[in-house]
Amino acid sequence: MLIQILTLFPEMFDGPFNCSILKRAQEQNLVEFRYHNFRDFTTDKHRMVDDSPYGGGSGMVLKPEPIYRCLQAVKKDRPLAKTILMTPQGAVFDQKLARQLSAEEHLIFICGHYEGFDERIRQWADFELSIGDYVLTGGELAVMVVCDALVRLIPGALGSDESAVRDSFTGSLLDFPQYTRPVEFEGSAVPELLLSGHHAKIEAWRREQAIVRTAQRRPDLLKDANLTEAEQRFLMEKYNIKP
């Protein structure tokens, strides 16, 4: 996968993208990141990428010309690349979108900054994406979040592909409780069932715990959880929740 990022601050990606899973995925040639500073595509001597908004108002707005020129250069050899504009007004990013994006061969992200961007920039994006209902200084941090979530879903990126299958939000359920050594610590012990070696019972317990945890913390997810009739009855009887 090739991921190209249009940003005013490419140096922001040096640390996060050179550690852990993202670093290993690059070393294994599963993903390649390229950064493009759209300030390099300005034509004036001051290399201006923003200007005051028409109609007045506070803050500065990103100009369309540098981003357009940068995007044209980036897409010259790959015109079908999917272009994503990071904005608080976009669709909210979730695990389903992460899976969809992880299957793409080429992605381009546009990072906004300052007060916002010229409205005409929207027409060059295939879709707009947000990581939540809050405002960041720029789109760089949001792109880091999205890239981390989607790269780990590329086959081979994790030590075990099963890890991604068991993640929270996969199947619309939160993850079940996890334990490791020691068996007992500070008076709290690992559930005996997990020590039994009975894999079928352990899987059933994990499924039940995932449903319980989701019901307690994120009941809104249960409507898409594909629960069995028995599991739906369990939720109705114990939590008065109808998925």
Q: Report pLDDT for 180.
A: 96
Q: Give catalytic residues, as residue numbers.
A: 88, 115, 152, 167
Residue 168 has pLDDT above 70, yes or no: no
Is 94 within any annotated ligand binding site?
Answer: no
Q: Which two tokens stand for residue 90?
A: 């976009």
pLDDT digits (tens, 9 = 90+) for 9-31: 999 999 999 999 999 999 999 99
Residue 114 has pLDDT above 90, yes or no: no
Residue 165 has pLDDT above 80, yes or no: no
Is 112 within any annotated ligand binding site?
Answer: yes
Is 90 within any annotated ligand binding site?
Answer: no
**183, 189 Cβ separation under 8 angstroms:** yes
Question: 44-52, long-range: CB within 8 Å, 24+ apart, which pairs?
Answer: 49/8, 50/113, 50/114
Is 136 within any annotated ligand binding site?
Answer: yes
Q: Report pLDDT for 26.
A: 98
Contacts of residue 4, defined as CB under 8 A and 6 or more positions apart, other chains included, come to: 33, 34, 35, 36, 74, 81, 106, 107, 108, 109
pLDDT digits (tens, 9 = 90+) for 185-241: 999 999 999 999 999 999 999 999 999 999 999 999 999 999 999 999 999 998 888
How many helices (H) and strands (E) the chain has is answered by 7, 10
CA–CA separation, 66 and 62 (whole Å): 9
Closest CA to 211 of 226, 201, 190, 194: 226
Contacts of residue 31, defined as CB under 8 A and 6 or more positions apart, other chains included, come to: 1, 2, 3, 22, 25, 151, 154, 157
Q: Is this structure's pTM higher than 0.85?
A: yes
- Strands 188-189 vs 32-36: parallel, antiparallel or unpaired: unpaired
Cα distance from N-terminal residue to C-terminal residue, the chain = 37
CA–CA separation, 152 and 158 (whole Å): 6
**53, 42 Cβ separation under 8 angstroms:** no
Q: Report pLDDT for 159.
A: 78
Domains contained in the chain, CATH given: 2-151 (3.40.1280.10), 168-239 (1.10.1270.20)
- Mean predicted lDDT score pLDDT of the chain: 94
